[in-house]
Chains A and B, each alone.
Chain A
Amino acid sequence: MNTATLQAQDSAGLSAGTPLLLEIKDLYVHFDVYGGTLKVLDGVNFTVRSGEKVGLVGETGCGKTTTMKAILRILPMPPARIPGGEIYFKGQDILKMGEADLRRVRSEGISMIFQDPTAALNPVFTIGQQLEAVVKYSLEGKKLSRREIRERAIIPLREVALPDPERMLDSYPIQLSGGMRQRVCIAMALVASRELLIADEPGTSLDVTIQDQILRLLHRLVEEKNVSVILITHTLGVVRETTDRVYVMYAGNMVEAADTRELFARPMHPYTRGLMDAVPRLTGGGIAGGIRGRIPDYLDPPPGCRFHPRCDHAMDICRQEKPPFYRLSDNHEVACFLYRDGG
């Protein structure tokens, strides 16, 4: 109970003591494709404080990965285009940065772990070559000798509890199992001291027992190193067990943001509730019917609240206006007209 109230205070809006590490303000991302423009992100707001573990949940294709790619500015442009919005990392707008500053953010500030560790590692280089490259290009490594670089590259491999790290340096990705590859990816992400780690579905392609190990490893490392984490996933259970605060995303909009405990205890947005009900429970009792319909067409998204065609509580206003965030309590916000009068 004590920790819960502490957490509640911790995320009580901008007035909280902890500084904002990352702040996304009203971000729009569009893709120009055959037949028009895909309006994927539609005014996304998102913040991460120092040392905070933030979850981002939503169905496939709701724009989670697009948001993260925008943060690192690795969206392919064209076809992507950012018609509006700001992304502040430690007070600096990433979208307005020059190449040199951007490189510094990528090599020292933010790193990313991808869903598929097989695709994230280059099959023709050894683990050592790939790790050493990361060490070399993080600025502090530039003055090191080859031996020192190699020694520095072993350290993260030890940290991620890989057996026989020296031999591991000379292995090729294909010689490792999926779980080991993901550990290597984490090692690579944590080679240089980072402030923010973006983990995009880090366990999804792995078995449950391996996913569990990877998530525990990630948890331990971020605690030790005091790194902030954005965990992207479509598995609600993973978010519940590993994050402090959660954003729920639907069709390019944030629909609900709350402390993790609060969200799982009191999901408010009809979409969050639908998602929560659809999760099969270990306690049994069958599965609810899911959410009818599917993610809208981004070429011509529904006006107003993008969820209204799938919502059982849709009202007239939902079809006309986009709902703003309503603050239900210090640690719970929801973008739904049902809560106009404060829930």
Chain B
Amino acid sequence: MPSLTPESDWLQEEVNNVTAQANSLTLPKSKTMENIGRSWYKFSRNPMSIVGLCTVLLVVFLAVFAPLVAPYPEHAGAFVDFANASRPPCGRYLLGTDVVGRDILSRIFFGFRFSLTMGVVVLALVVPPGVTLGLIAGYNQGTWLDTIIMRLTDIFLAVPPLVLALAICSVLTPNLFNAMLAVSLMWWPWYTRLVYGLASTLRNEFFVSSAEAIGAGKAHIIFREILPNCISPIFTKMSLDMGWVILIGSALSFVGLGVQPPKPGLGTMVADGAKYLPDQWWISVFPALAIVVVVLGFNLLGDGLRDMFAAEEV
């Protein structure tokens, strides 16, 4: 949470006062729309957030509809066309072809699929347990439960992440699934740490005391009272992490432990093309650029979400 100067604090207060009153005058129905409008107003104040959002939407669209939008969908697999091998970018192959004649643009579209799958699956595996552990430890701060959970996360955080992933992938069969498993294993402690900090502050809020005084159960307090107040930082971290997971996934693919050829992982493509640098630069440079675009898109989106939530929470 950004620290505010006394002046802006005061202003926010006055503006909040006033806008709170404005809000209460509108009808209940229209309020959801208004809230969306307000959030959008905050999100869109930074044009880079819009750029991020558009990039992410575009990438998701391309990935989902890759078979329809890719010029040569069949080039995604083990396809060989030596007649058109190593073509530089031209009208027929916008981003050129690789050494066996596959269209790089098409393969990038399919590469997005693997990258996004990687990101979504890893986050789906990581966020629920990480957040739950953080909530439990934070709510029970100072007890043995807190000690056990937090020391465990410390142990996981102490292992260099890429080394752990490399170790797991090289012990198990190197494929996309194991790569995701490896990344997940080293990723959950970050969520635990984030939520732990939030929950240990929130548990001292009077609304938690009120719920306890009423007699609400622990599950209610943790998931209904505390969790909703952690949602925005979690969301922001997720969108920032999407980029990071994709980057690490690509790195694993690059060293041959992720997506296996002939499947078009973005990292794998960069690695394959690296041999033909600098003469046939397009084979590795365009997939690398694609990685940059995806990661940057998610990061900008994450920043935008943070702005949106931050202003809302003051």
Evaluate contact between B9 and A119: CB separation under 8 angstroms: yes
B229 vs chain A, min Cβ distance (A): 23
Q: Are B9 and A297 in contact (CB under 8 A)?
A: no
Binds B, one of A31-39, A45-53, A277-285, A315-323: A31-39
Given A34-B37, A296-B21, A61 and B14 touching (CB < 8 A)? yes
Question: Does residue B207 face the partner (Cβ distance < 8 Å to A)?
Answer: no
- If A34-B37, A34-B38 touch, whether A119 touches B6 (CB-CB below 8 Å) is yes
Is A298 interfacial (CB-CB < 8 Å)?
yes
Give min CB distance, B89 to chain A, whole Å: 45
B14, B34, B41: most-surrounded residue (chain A CB, <10 A): B14
Docked Cα-Cα span, A297 to B38, in Å, equals: 17
Find residues 35-83 in chain A having any chain B CB closer than 8 Å to their own CB.
35, 38, 40, 60-61, 65-66, 69, 74, 76, 79-80
Q: Tell me whether B6 and A294 are in contact (CB under 8 A).
A: no
Chain A residue contacts of B6, Cβ below 8 A: 114, 116, 119-120
Min distance, Cβ B265 to any Cβ of chain A, angstroms: 43
In contact, B18 and A65 (Cβ under 8 angstroms): no
Task: Give the complex CA separation of A38 and B25 in angstroms.
Answer: 15
For the residues of A in contact with B, the DSSP-based class is: loop
- A198 CB to nearest B CB, Å: 14
How many chain A residues touch B (CB < 8 A): the figure is: 26
Among B7, B11, B18, B42, which residue has its beta carbon within 8 angstroms of that of A298? B18
Q: How far is the CA of A120 from the CA of B7 in the complex (A)?
A: 10
Q: Assess whether B177 is interfacial by the CB under 8 Å rule.
A: no
Which residue of chain B has its CB nearest to the CB of A38? Answer: B18
Question: Which of B8, B9, B15 is packed against the most chain A CB atoms within 10 Å?
Answer: B15
Q: Which residues of B contact A300 (CB under 8 A)?
A: 22
Q: Are B21 and A60 in contact (CB under 8 A)?
A: no
Chain B residues whose CB sits within 8 angstroms of the CB of A21 once the complex forms: none
Within B1-49, which residues are at the interface with A (CB < 8 Å)? 6-11, 14-15, 17-19, 21-22, 25, 34, 37-38, 41-42
| B22→A35 contact, CB < 8 A | yes
Tell yes or no: A299 within 8 A of B by CB: yes
Q: Does A276 contact B (CB under 8 A)?
A: no
Looking across the interface, which residue of chain A has its beta carbon closest to that of B24? A297
CB of A22 to closest CB in B, whole Å? 21
B22–A60 contact, CB under 8 A? Answer: no
> Most chain-B CB neighbours within 10 Å: which of A33, A120, A295?
A33
In the complex with contacts A119-B6, A119-B9, A297-B14 CB distance below 8 A: no
Q: Assess whether A33 is in contact with B15, with CB atoms less than 8 Å apart.
A: yes
Q: How far is the CB of A252 from chain B (nearest CB, A)?
A: 10
Contact (Cβ within 8 A) A299 B22: yes
A297 to B11, CA, bound (A): 16
Distance from A43 Cβ to chain B, minimum over Cβ atoms (Å): 18
Q: Is the CB of B8 within 8 A of A34?
A: no
A65, B34: Cα distance in complex, Å:
29
Residues of A within 8 A of B22 (CB): 35, 297-300
Known: A65-B10, A76-B8. A31 touches B21 (CB 8 A): no
Chain B interface main SS type: helix
Contact with B along A295-329 (1 / 0, CB 8 A): 11111100000000000000000000000000000
- Asked if residues B18 and A76 are in contact (CB atoms below 8 Å), the reply is no
Which B residue sits closest to A119, measured CB to CB?
B6
Cβ < 8 Å to B, chain A residues 264-294: 294
Measured between beta carbons, the chain B residues less than 8 angstroms from A297 are 18, 21-22, 25
Q: With the chains together, A31 CA to B9 CA distance in Å?
A: 15
Residues in B with CB closer than 8 Å to A295 are 17, 21
B19 and A33 form a contact (CB under 8 A): yes
**B42 contacts across to A, CB distance below 8 A:** 34
Chain A residues with CB below 8 A from B7, complex form? 69, 74, 76
- CA separation between A226 and B21, bound complex, in Å? 42
Within the complex, the shortest CB–CB distance from B18 to chain A, in Å, comes to 5
Closest to B45 in A: A34
For residues 123 through 154 of chain A, which have their beta carbon under 8 Å from a beta carbon of chain B? none
B15 and A31 contacting across the interface, CB-CB below 8 Å: yes
How distant is the Cα of A300 from the Cα of B9 in the complex, in angstroms? 24
- With the chains together, A246 CA to B10 CA distance in Å? 24
Q: How far is the CB of A84 from chain B (nearest CB, A)?
A: 20
- Given the complex, which residues of A lie within 8 Å of B41, measured CB to CB? 34
Contacts of A120 in B (CB 8 A): 6
Closest Cβ–Cβ distance, residue A302 to chain B (whole Å): 12
Residue of B at shortest CB range from A66? B14
For the complex, give the distance between the alpha carbons of A297 and B8 in Å: 20
Tell me, in angstroms, the Cα distance from A119 to B3 when the chains sit together: 11
A296 to B38, CA, bound (A): 21
Instruction: Write the chain B residue with the least CB distance to A80.
Output: B11
7 contacts between A and B (CB under 8 A): A31-B15, A35-B37, A119-B6, A294-B21, A295-B21, A296-B21, A299-B18
Query: Which residues does B use to contact A, with CB under 8 Å?
Result: 6-11, 14-15, 17-19, 21-22, 25, 34, 37-38, 41-42
A31-B11, A31-B18, A76-B11 given. 6 additional CB < 8 A pairs?
Answer: A33-B15, A34-B37, A35-B19, A76-B7, A299-B18, A299-B19
7 cross-chain pairs, A with B, having the tightest CB-CB distances, nearest first: A61-B17, A119-B6, A34-B41, A298-B18, A297-B21, A297-B22, A299-B22
